[in-house]
Amino acid sequence: MLRTILRRAIATGPRSDGPWRLTATANYSSSKDTKSTVKKAKKSNKSKGEATAAADDDAYAGADADLFDDKGRARRLQADESDPSLDVGPNGRPLFTSTPTLAQLTSMDSCSYFKFKTEELNKVLPEGLPLGMVREFEEAMQSAVLVRQSFLDLRDNFRRVVDPPLGSARSKGSKVKKQIVLDGPVSCGKSTALAMLVHWAREEGWLVLYVPRGKDWTHGGFFYKNPQTGLWDTPVQAENILKDFLKFNESRLKQLLCQISDPIPLGEGAGVGWMKDGIDSMAMPEGSTLYDLVDTGIKHTHAAVGVVVRLRKELSLVKDIPVLIAIDQYNNWFTFSEYEEAVTVRSTRPIHAKELATVKAFRSMIHDDMMVGAFSHSTAVGKLRQDLPDVPSDARINFPRYTLDEAAAVCHYYLRQRLIRREAFSEENCKRIYYLSNGNGAEMRWLATFMREQ
Amino acid sequence: MLSRLLPKPSHFSLLTRISTKFHPCPHPQFPSPLQNPTFTTFLPRFFSAGGDGNNGQSPPDVWNLSKETDENFDPLFGESSGDVSGIAEADSWTKSTGGDEWETVPGFRPWSLGGEEDKGDDLFQVGDGVQTRTSVESDQEDEGKRIEEAKRLEKEEKELTAVLKGPNRAFGDLVAASGITDEMLDSLIALKDFRGIKGLPPLHEIEDIRYRKNTSKSSRADIERQKQEEVAKARVRLVDDKGRAYGTGRRKCSIARVWIQPGDGNFVINDKQFDVYFPMLDHRAAILRPFSETKTLGLWDINCTVQGGGLSGQVGAIRLGVSRALQNWEPDLRPTLKASGFLTRDSRAVERKKPGKAKARKSFQWVKR
């Protein structure tokens, strides 16, 4: 929305009293510009609808059209690609790392950007990217993420789980955690870090169940009560889960055998009711692979939920390759779902997420498998308890915000991506952006567009 | 004999002097604590005829006291034996302490101090001494005795005053309890003798100087300069013992307390991160303005508490508090802050509602008829 306002402001032309020296309308600003006054003044500009002298129209239209004219900007970025001298980060360090894979990143590479190729990214993460990442790529017009020390620590933790370093394990400072919950303030990079972790794990060859939106499990589709288990089945959502799982891991699943041979309990199908003739379980043939199991769940909607529950058990029994369960928007699983149960004719009772069969199967962290959950502020969950049920007490870590160095790298990156005008850029402004947003990633991105020379 | 009892002016003056010397109580009638419990009623008694034993006792006591200060009463002692008997009676009377039958001052506590008994005895050995003089003796002996008595009386007076000043119940207790010592009393300037002090010019000189100072018209420039010097001297860095500078800020019912110390750039308000407490960017920008103006953006660790008012009011209060704390830390920043206007306490507050108007200024809806 802001962009449309800005575009309109540009269309009406800047005021005649100089470039961007818009008068203050907010109480707290002085005659000098601040980001807030710019925002307010632009709004008032639009509402007043001034048409001022068009003398300096063209000049400013040219320079600032970058911000608002995506095509023009894309064109200029295209031209920039050939110029490597622009890729300079804070203190003259290179802005982009040259390491080819996430696995080879070291702490030397922190505070620099890692470029992804879009197709490759979509291939490795076919379930979808987290919203924050998508927005970032859109704004910067490039698929590059900042390498942060916090991500490297996360990755190293799981590396150590899989290959414990010989002998020097005791000397390592922090304990290796198999289950982690990423908590932290708004826009501090939790979902992005989780996505990068999944990317790295899949490159390493692990079997990863990635859930980019945990909210999908508790919202949407049909829900039926299963009298045998006493839980609520969500066949449509279960089917989606299985399909997502299959997207990347198909070939891998074909190599793994099922280890539990109990028949799968059947539930109510999506919109079709129970199976005829009272059949309530389906047997899996001997020697079927996990792929067959998942396929059965997709094909037979009655079996979807049962397959999901069975899959969870199977995943803990996989010994050949490391298994990682990565769930974003994990905090949605600790509150109520959108489903309700009719208690009387007139009133309903909201169903908690733990009463759903799918969620119940996957939510617990009290096990020996590797699991990462990331909280999200994008969903209206609110504040959760300090000690979550089924979560080990040391699993919850506070994901740190951006530091000053990381913020400087971010500003340089935006400069490179033509989000900030070159004349307006300065270290002082970078610092100001950082302190104003207090390390909030999305806000820094938004503020960067308003950077002015002072 | 009655003429003795008649009041002489000198008696009164002596009595008053004696009474002040013996630390009169706050009690309006001046009871002399030690010797005469009925000293309060002394004066009226003094007039009555020496009929009852009470009255008979008091005059000799009085004369005992006055004996120390004024030798004029010697002939009184050398008088007839009736006097002596009176003294003997006085002696017997004063020996019986306790004094239940005496009409005492309301609030009088019969005090029994061991030393006092002795002193009383000592004192009334004078009486004894007098008592033993049954026969009229020669003047010379009298003289000698009188001198001795005088000396003894002086000595006893000193001891008594020491006793008095020690466990003085009425006024002296308060004095002692409050810790005021004799040295302190001596040092009271008002009682000092200002004649021999070095460097103190004589009074007329002091008066001259004063006069000149009062009447001379110091030029405007001088006054201004003096004022500026004072102000400049007051610009001292104020840092508390934990190395933090403090500032208070107020705006429109909000009060903020701000502590700053050099550090990383953490900003904690009421134990929350400051972007959690002020989600709006405008507020945060306003609070950080003093830092950006003085170019000290990330150098401080700020801790502040704020209460009262609404969000904007709290923002204003914190900003003022921050500016004041900055100025306390580094007085050189004051001109910059002053120029930007961050050091002014915004005195705008909610205007009161007036009668005849709906709100402070808004009038009621106008009705034509």
- pLDDT tens digit sequence for A187-203: 888 998 999 899 888 88
Q: Convert the pLDDT of each residue in B247-301 to its tens digit.
A: 999 999 999 999 998 888 888 999 988 888 998 888 998 999 888 888 888 888 8
> Which has more confidence, B47 or B153?
B153
A94 touches chain B (CB under 8 A): no
Per-residue pLDDT, A380: 82
Residue A34 clears pLDDT 50, i.e. is over it = no
| Contact between A435 and B297 using a beta-carbon 8 Å cutoff | yes
Specify the range with the lowest mean pLDDT, choosing from A50-54, B93-97, B322-326.
Answer: A50-54
pLDDT tier at A6 (50, 70, 90 boundaries)?
low
How many whole angstroms from its chain centre is CA A152?
A: 17
Per-residue pLDDT, B238: 77
Region B50-58: mean pLDDT is 45
Task: Nearest by CB to A432, from B267, B273, B292: name it.
Answer: B292
Which chain B residues are closer than 8 Å to A431 by Cβ? 297-298
A34 touches chain B (CB under 8 A): yes
> Which has more confidence, B24 or B321?
B321
pLDDT tier at B31 (50, 70, 90 boundaries)?
very low
| Contact between B281 and A36 using a beta-carbon 8 Å cutoff | yes
Per-residue pLDDT, A176: 82
- In whole angstroms, give the CA distance from residue A338 to residue A351: 7
**In 3D, which of A211, A213, A216, A182 has the Cα closest to residue A337?**
A216
> Which has more confidence, B107 or B6?
B107
Which chain B residues are closer than 8 Å to A437 by Cβ? 275
Q: Convert the pLDDT of each residue in B111-169 to its tens digit.
A: 655 544 444 445 455 544 444 555 555 666 777 888 888 888 888 888 877 766 655 45
The answer to whether the beta carbons of residues A199 and A324 sit under 8 Å apart is: no
Per-residue pLDDT, A66: 52
Region A160-164: mean pLDDT is 82
Kindly report the pTM of this predicted structure.
0.63
Say whether A370 sits in a helix, a strand or coil. Answer: strand
Region B26-55: mean pLDDT is 45
Per-residue pLDDT, B360: 93
Say whether B342 sits in a helix, a strand or coil. Answer: coil
Give the side-chain half-sphere CA count within 13 A for B359. Answer: 4
| Contact between B289 and A27 using a beta-carbon 8 Å cutoff | no
Region A128-143: mean pLDDT is 86
Per-residue pLDDT, B365: 92
Q: Which of B260, B292, B314 to mutate to test the interface with A (most CBs of A within 10 A)?
A: B292
Q: Convert the pLDDT of each residue in B328-348 to its tens digit.
A: 888 888 888 889 889 899 889
Which chain B residues are closer than 8 Å to A30 by Cβ? 289, 340-341
User: pLDDT > 70: what percent of chain A?
Assistant: 83
User: pLDDT > 90: what percent of chain B?
Assistant: 16
Task: Nearest by CB to B288, from A404, A435, A440: name it.
Answer: A435
Nearest CA in chain B to A39: B282
A-B interface: how many C-beta pairs under 8 angstroms? Answer: 55
Q: Convert the pLDDT of each residue in A303-334 to its tens digit.
A: 888 888 888 888 888 888 888 999 999 988 98
- In whole angstroms, give the CA distance from residue B214 to residue B360: 50
The answer to whether the beta carbons of residues A328 and A214 sit under 8 Å apart is: yes
Per-residue pLDDT, B318: 93
Q: Convert the pLDDT of each residue in B187-207 to its tens digit.
A: 776 666 777 677 777 888 888
pLDDT tier at A169 (50, 70, 90 boundaries)?
low
Region B239-247: mean pLDDT is 86
Residue ranges with strand state E in A153-267: 179-183, 207-211, 224-225, 232-233, 264-265
* Residues in B lying within 8 Å of A, measured between beta carbons: 265, 267, 273-276, 281-282, 284-286, 288-289, 291-292, 295, 297-298, 312, 315-316, 319, 340-341
Q: Convert the pLDDT of each residue in A199-252 to its tens digit.
A: 888 888 888 899 888 888 888 888 888 888 888 888 888 888 888 888 888 888
Which chain A residues are closer than 8 Å to B315 by Cβ? 28
| Contact between A435 and B298 using a beta-carbon 8 Å cutoff | yes
C-alpha triplet A204, A163, A366: angle, nearest 5°: 90
Residue A158 clears pLDDT 70, i.e. is over it = yes
| Contact between B285 and A436 using a beta-carbon 8 Å cutoff | yes
Residue ranges with strand state E in A129-276: 144-147, 179-183, 207-211, 224-225, 232-233, 264-265
Which chain A residues are closer than 8 Å to B282 by Cβ? 26, 28, 36
Distance from CA of B364 to the nearest CA of A (A): 29
A187 touches chain B (CB under 8 A): no
> Which has more confidence, B91 or B318?
B318
Please count the other Cβ atoms lying within 10 Å of the Cβ belonging to residue A208: 26
Structural domains for chain B = 156-217 (no CATH), 238-340 (3.30.230.10)
Task: Nearest by CB to A437, from B275, B291, B292: name it.
Answer: B275
Specify the range with the lowest mean pLDDT, choosing from A5-9, A349-353, B305-309.
Answer: A5-9
A29 touches chain B (CB under 8 A): yes
Q: Convert the pLDDT of each residue in A69-121 to its tens digit.
A: 777 777 777 777 777 777 777 777 777 887 888 888 888 878 888 888 888 88
- In whole angstroms, give the CA distance from residue A378 to residue A211: 15
Which chain A residues are closer than 8 Å to B291 by Cβ? 435
| Contact between B288 and A437 using a beta-carbon 8 Å cutoff | no
- In whole angstroms, give the CA distance from residue A370 to residue A316: 9
Q: Convert the pLDDT of each residue in A357-393 to its tens digit.
A: 888 888 888 888 889 999 988 888 888 888 888 888 8
A435 touches chain B (CB under 8 A): yes
- DSSP H/E element including B279: none
